[in-house]
Amino acid sequence: MKKLLLFSLIFTFTISLSTEAQRKNSKDKSNQDTSKTKKSKTPKYSDFVTSETKTDDGLFKVHETKDKFMYEIPKSHFGKEMLLVTRIKELPSGLGGGYVNAGSKINTQVVVWEQFKNKILLKVKSYNAIANDSLPIYKSVKANNLEPVIYAFEIKTQNTDSTAVIVDVTKFFSTDVKAISGLPSSYRSRYKVRRLDASRSFINSIKSYPKNIEVIQDFSFDSDAPPSNRSTNTITMRINQSMILLPENPMMPRIYDKRVGYFSLGNVDYSSEALKADDKRYIRRWRLEPKDPAAYARGELVEPIKPIVYYLDPATPEKLRKYIKQGVDDWQTVFETAGFKNAIMAKMPPTAEEDPEFSMEDVRYSSIRYVASTTRNAVGPSVSDPRSGEILESDIIWYHNHLRSYRNRYLLETGAANPSARTLNTPDEEIGDMMRMVIAHEVGHALGLPHNMAASFAYPTDSLRSGSFTQKNGIAATIMDYARYNYVAQPGDKNIRFIRQLGPYDHYSINWGYRKIPNISYPEQEVRTLDKWISEKAGDPIYRFGAQRFDPSAQTEGIGNDQVKSSTYGVKNLKIVAKNLPNWTSNQTNDYNDLSELYGELLSVWSRYVGHVTGNIGGIYEYNKKPAQTGDVYQVVSKAKQKEALNWLLKNVFETQDWLLDKNILNKINETGYTERMLGYQNRSLRTLLNSRTLNRMINAEIIDANTYAASDMVRDLRRGVFSETNTTKNVSIFRRNLQKSFISVLGSLLNNKSTNNYDISSIARGELESLKYQLNVASKRGVNRITKYHYKDALAMVNDILDPK
């Protein structure tokens, strides 16, 4: 029994020791495994940057391994402000309704990279609200403008000396991140976009340069209503993301003044000691600083430290390169007015042998791209620093087919007085001159200048028929107007310049925006000098800036300071062109395609001339001024001018224009549609005159000018002119029948428009419909042909239905 007990004790002890040993061994093994696991879970730099990795060094190092992209972000760049620009690089036909092109910017935002624990945050920084960081209110501005985080990246590892972190950007750039999407919400709704298809979307490339990183993404979206290729149910786009390091020291901004045309950007400054925050606005311009400030201060011409250089796309046809270069270099003499020589120039890019690192995508280089596209356009976009307005780079885009538009317009607008335009094969030098001026116009945009549609109103209409005047002054005071051709000059006028050119306003605006003002520490100190420069030119129409809105002196495509006279000359020329159009086109080509195209554009040109006259009715001139200047800011167009304009329209638009209905053209290009097309053009004028905005201005004008053209008088005169046949036994043509019914329909819309706040408009509409009711009732009983009688009865029924709806 004792032996048995002893054995049991020994056995128990042995088992216990064995169990403990197993536990110890298991624990040791577990510790070893944990140690190994921990060791294996700590990624090393070499895990991500391997022998298979392609590395591109620049602003950040970009590492590409198979389908993965990594950014190596220096810690010294945390918190530094960068500009993230989302642009469309390539797009499907019809996207945006034809108003969006390759190169169009979709979004521009300031971003910063910041570390939070084990993540790197990409945050959007706004400059809509600002305050001096030394003031207490700065804290409130920060608290009430929290910066959104658009993406959070996990830190994968650090580089070998721990000065940079590695993050994976593959998912950020290959998925549908709305903050950087090339497809805005409005497009998603219009085209019924359901989702981004990841299987057909990928990162095309990421390239790093010293001051920027360029990402190209290929995205395919599932869409139930794509703008083109509808059977595919797909929208495929190529998007370009540019991330640009902003200057360490922002350029001193120049305060915007609406009396001189500049693109601008603004913010709300809470640093003001006034009783409200200040709305501040700065012009957009390049940073030009003289190499020799002392010589510049003495009034000598001085080269800038960094000139504006545009590189021509190597894809540009060789015969066109000199004209593009001239269009850029033409601005050199303009900058001399501001004290800078050789401030801007165009060059061919260096070859791969000369500079293997050169790339058009590099933000350090601005370019003029030649795009193989059927789009008829050219654009001059630029990227600017939102803190100061400094333009950082610009890529002007020229689309291949754009010159065709200029050839067509040249023939139509100048062919009557200009023998060399009467052909489909315009001489190379003249085509080149047109291209040169288009490039100069787009360069103007890239320099910060918007359209100045008032510049063409600066020159007297009859001066445009003078050879000596046009050769010296061109046809408008600036290249930034849409005054493309001299359509006023008549057959027999000698030595006329027909193509636009740079003018005196360009020198004035560049001097105002770019000249360095000495002994200045902050923008407000410049205002007195800037005001003085404007005051010196005040009252001279050559130096006036006008935005295209309700002002008839600031209309697109117009020339001369008397639109009625200019359009009279223009229509007179168009009649000659219309008569000769088959001889200048189809008779030469044995093909009707050009005749059809040019006839359609001839109608558009006629419609533009008409629009210039229409704008006078209800028009208000705008002369932007400061209180120290004399005179009113807004002046109503005189009653005499408005009545002259209406009478011109009654004769040249609302009467049937038989010269536009030449059967020798119509029966060659279309089997039908003549009446609908003409009514469409007539309706443009009709709806402009009977637009609630036009009538509103006329009604309000009566308050400040008792002798103005009253809205009720204008509508009465228009009704009498449109329905002039009702006072006679004349039959009404099909074109007039359509116009008269359209007039009734528009009056009906005015009568039933519940959104207007000016009830006089409905009163005028009702009064004229009542007058028309009586007029039609009498006319329907006169001796006219059957269709005219039917028309009068139908028109009367329309009026009755509007006045007394069942």
**Which of 90-104, 281-295, 465-479, 674-688 shows the lowest per-residue confidence on average (mean pLDDT)?**
90-104
Over residues 253-275, mean pLDDT: 80
Structure tokens at 454: 């008032």
Under the banding of pLDDT at 50, 70 and 90, the label for residue 536 is very high
Would the pLDDT of 378 be above 80? no
Please name which of 384, 401, 411, 391 lies closest in space to residue 438, comparing C-alpha atoms.
401
Structure tokens at 44: 């090393």
**Cα–Cα distance between 744 and 611 in angstroms, integer?**
21
What pLDDT, on a 0 to 100 scale, did the predictor assign at position 462?
97
What pLDDT, on a 0 to 100 scale, did the predictor assign at position 359?
81
Residue 393 CA: distances (Å) to CA of 369, 648, 747: 13, 47, 51
Would the pLDDT of 713 be above 70? yes
pLDDT tens-digit map of 559-605: 999 999 999 999 999 999 999 999 999 999 999 999 999 999 999 99
What pLDDT, on a 0 to 100 scale, did the predictor assign at position 382?
86
Would the pLDDT of 501 be above 70? yes
Phi, then psi, of 12 in degrees rounded to 5: -60, -45
Under the banding of pLDDT at 50, 70 and 90, the label for residue 2 is very low
What pLDDT, on a 0 to 100 scale, did the predictor assign at position 68?
94
The domain segmentation of the chain, as residue ranges, is: 50-245, 296-584, 671-803
Looking up tokens 């902050």 gives 522
Select the more confidently predicted residue: 771 or 184: 771
β-pair type (620-622, 193-196): unpaired
pLDDT tens-digit map of 135-180: 565 555 555 566 889 999 999 999 999 999 999 999 999 999 999 9
Structure tokens at 144: 């009430």
Please name which of 159, 157, 86, 147 lies closest in space to residue 114, comparing C-alpha atoms.
147
Cite the DSSP H helix spans in 637-673.
Answer: 639-649, 663-669
Phi, then psi, of 86 in degrees rounded to 5: -100, 120
Under the banding of pLDDT at 50, 70 and 90, the label for residue 401 is confident
Structure tokens at 634: 């807004």
Q: 767: buried, middle or exposed (CB in 10 Å: 19+, 13-18, 0-12)?
A: middle
Would the pLDDT of 754 be above 80? no
pTM: 0.87
Cite the DSSP H helix spans in 129-194.
Answer: 137-143, 170-174, 185-190
Under the banding of pLDDT at 50, 70 and 90, the label for residue 272 is low
Determine contact, residues 463/439, Cβ cutoff 8 Å.
no
Would the pLDDT of 671 be above 90? no
Over residues 660-675, mean pLDDT: 90
The pLDDT mean for the chain works out to 89
Under the banding of pLDDT at 50, 70 and 90, the label for residue 5 is very low
Q: Interior CA angle at 645 toward 640 and 646, to 5°? A: 100
What pLDDT, on a 0 to 100 scale, did the predictor assign at position 17?
44
Mean pLDDT highest for which of 173-187, 361-375, 447-461?
Answer: 447-461
β-pair type (308-312, 366-371): parallel
Structure tokens at 531: 């005001």
Determine contact, residues 618/718, Cβ cutoff 8 Å.
no
Select the more confidently predicted residue: 4 or 474: 474
What pLDDT, on a 0 to 100 scale, did the predictor assign at position 583?
95
Count of CB atoms within 10 A of residue 308's CB? 24
Determine contact, residues 455/479, Cβ cutoff 8 Å.
no
What pLDDT, on a 0 to 100 scale, did the predictor assign at position 8?
46
Under the banding of pLDDT at 50, 70 and 90, the label for residue 128 is low
| Region class of 97: left (phi > 0), else alpha (psi between -120 and 50), else beta | left
Looking up tokens 């209905």 gives 661
What pLDDT, on a 0 to 100 scale, did the predictor assign at position 94?
85
Burial 34-44 (b: 16+ CB within 10 A, else e): eeeeeeeeeee
Mean pLDDT highest for which of 396-410, 469-483, 671-685?
Answer: 469-483
Under the banding of pLDDT at 50, 70 and 90, the label for residue 398 is confident
